Structure 1
Amino acid sequence: MSASIYDDCPELLRSFLFYMETIKGRSPNTISGYYVDLRLFFRFLKRYRNLVPQNTPLEEINIDDVDAALLRSVTLSDVYEFMHFLSADRQNNARTRCRKSSSLKVFFHYLTTKVNVLENNPIKELEVPNSKKSLPKYLSLEESVTLLSQVEGDNKERDYCILTLFLNCGMRLSELVGINLGDIKEDSIKVTGKGNKERIIYLNDACVAALNDYLPVRLSKSPKDRQALFISRNGNRINKRRVEQIVTENLKKCGLDGMGYSAHKLRHTAATLMYQHGHVDIRALKEILGHVNIGTTEIYTHVSNEQLKKAADASPLAHVQKKSRK
């Protein structure tokens, strides 16, 4: 955790962020989110409690003096006032308010159970705003096949392998660019996910074939980064931005550009196709995707209208009809 970024952190917030990063293994983006959310709450609290002049812009309110005494005084009503402020003054939607509520709940749980600053958690009963989860956008099976069939160019073996791993394994963009040659076994790849957690992803025949086509090309080169599986034209480990460009370029070739698809949507595609067509158990899918909570994986249990129609037609009473009277 870079100290310079969090110079205005009070000691308790700094220790919380350090704990979440080093002990809980949260990603830098998650740590930054906690910081931003809690900083806003502290600024609001100081103004709400008249600890600073009311006309002081939020961005100018210093939080480095927030101490245990102030945090012990926080009530559930204070937090609901904060939620109202987010909705009315800042026009935050339910999803944003839900995230900020979650940050507060994690922080006050830490104060209560890890450092014993609080005897009782004042926001334990905080109700999180209802945030309807949108269905993940994904390519259909036919679109996925079309995407793979259109890969051409000087780096076609590399690009085809990248797309194949995305569409079959559901790995994250950061996981894909981080793969080293030594991570590859005969039928598996070791990837490093969020919080530096490693997991093994098993490879199907399509992935093995794509790797077998690409590896001779890769091993014929002497790049600057000798460990990286995927390398750029300059011999460096390929970066996330270049992979995103590769995905966009190939989507455009087959007429799928401008539809909201991206490298991350290929991860959604892999998960959805596994669930809908491969009938993969939701618990197995959780492990494949590297999710911490199964609730995250459940967004892939959505069903298409076609599946609903098939389910209705599959009823054993589907063909039982009332006999007409003569």
Structure 2
Amino acid sequence: MRMSEATDAFAAHVSDVRRLSPATTKAYRADLADLISVVGDVEVRDVQLEHLREWLWVATQRGDARSTLARRAAAARGFFAWALETGHIPVDPSLRLIAPKRAKTLPKVASADAVSDLLDRLGHAAAQGDPIALRDHAALELLYATGVRVSELCGLDLGDIDRERRTVRVVGKGSKERVVPFGGSAARALDAYLVRGRPVLRDRRLDALAAARASEPAGVTDAATPGDAVFLGVRGGRMGSRAVYDLVARALGPIMGGGVGPHALRHSAATHLLDGGADLRTVQELLGHASLGTTQIYTHVSAERLAATYRLAHPRA
């Protein structure tokens, strides 16, 4: 079996059998496609350890980050372990493959005051009644209040929100479901959007569909309707991750600098929870981390912030 065929079979395995997310499956495909670009579309059994080392060396010369190299090495190990298990190869060439460890960098975190000021400004803009301003305010309030991932936010349906109990039900990595609470500020922003903003965006979509059906009745299906998505785009369809990234970049960019995405609000929410006295296990459950070790990075962020404050404030620091 050639590498391209094995890649397709492996992708089907991790998606259908291991039930990994579409994003993870896509990442595996991309990493193995990069391997094929270096070693060629050869038989899987012909790939040796030297070929894998050359692949990582090429990536190093290209300037790939250490985290990228570590991820690609992990993808190769997973692929060849599967190939060995399924009998496509007699020996796993990746067993002795060594990749650089991921650099341990602390996540970017905005101060609680900065986030509060930002959300207050968005709230004042939303009070004018513009549906996009109402949506943007609600989305950022909910991101910060719950610490959910951008994919979880975009995947929310109306039935996932319990406005009485102030909770949202999200489906995270590995299709794991969890219920996350949110506070009064997010509740008010969400209510305003659902009552005054979302119906306007929904009607835009329905009007466009009606016009399209009138001109081309056979070319439009009911699948294009807005459905139950909570957050809608400018044209009334489900809001995508790219639109949320752009929104956060515009809002948080002036506060935190370039390269800021929705995860900055997730990082900030987790750090502020710990600063406020929440225990690590609670934060782990709220964020949907499978490992407590992933959550522990926020304790380091809190310690760094404490040390920085001490150095600035103590007369003998």
Structure 1 length-normalised TM:
0.72
Gaps of at least 5 residues in structure 1 are: 1-7, 46-60, 313-326
More helix by share: 2
Show the counterpart of 2:52: 79
Paired residue for 2:265? 266
Between 160-169 and 271-280, report the one with greater CA deviation. Answer: 271-280
1:69 aligns with 2:40: no
Q: Does 1:200 align with 2:194?
A: no
Partner residue, 2:300: 302
CA distance in 1: counterparts of 2:53 and 2:83, whole angstroms: 19
Please say if residues 3 and 43 of structure 2, whose CA atoms lie closer than 8 Å, have aligned partners that are also in contact. no
Aligned to 2:25: 31
**Aligned residue type for 2:260:** Y
Task: State the identity as a percent.
Answer: 29
1:176 aligns with 2:153: yes
Query: What corresponds to 1:99 in structure 2?
Result: 71
The amino acid across from 1:34 in the alignment is: Y
Q: Give the AA of the match of 2:97.
A: L
Match for 1:91: what amino acid?
G
The residue type paired with residue 85 of structure 1 is V
CA distance in structure 2 between the aligned counterparts of 1:146 and 1:267, rounded to whole angstroms: 17
Give 2:236's aligned residue. 235
Q: Hey, what does 2:288 align to over in structure 1?
A: 290
1:134-153 aligned within 5 A: 134-151=105-122, 152-153=125-126
Rounded Cα–Cα distance in structure 2 between residues aligned with 1:226 and 1:13? 35
CA shift, 1:179, in A, is 1.0
- Report the alpha carbon displacement of residue 25 of structure 1 after superposing the two structures with TM: 2.9
Once the two structures are TM-superposed, the CA of residue 26 in structure 1 deviates from its matched residue by 2.8
Given that 1:21 and 1:31 are in contact with CA atoms closer than 8 Å, whether structure 2 keeps it comes out as: yes
Deviation, structure 1 residue 170: 1.0
Distance in structure 2 (CA, Å) of the matches to 1:123 and 1:141: 45
Q: How many pairs are equivalent? A: 279
Q: Structure 1: which amino acid aligns with 2:143?
A: F
Amino acid at match of 1:158: R
Q: Which amino acid aligns with 1:236?
A: G
Mind listing any 5+ residue stretches in structure 2 that lack a counterpart? 207-225, 312-317
Retained in 1: the 8 A contact 2:110–2:256?
no
Contact 1:21 1:28 (C-alpha < 8 Å) held by counterparts:
yes
Amino acid at match of 2:272: L
Instruction: Give the secondary structure class of the aligned counterpart of 1:162.
Output: helix
Alpha-carbon distance in 1 for matches of 2:245, 2:260: 10
Quote how far apart the aligned CAs of 1:136 are: 1.1
1:130 paired residue number:
101
For 1:291, give the aligned amino acid: H
Quick one: which amino acid aligns to residue 36 of structure 1? Answer: A
The normalised TM-score by structure 2 is 0.74
1:158/1:230 contact within 8 Å kept? yes
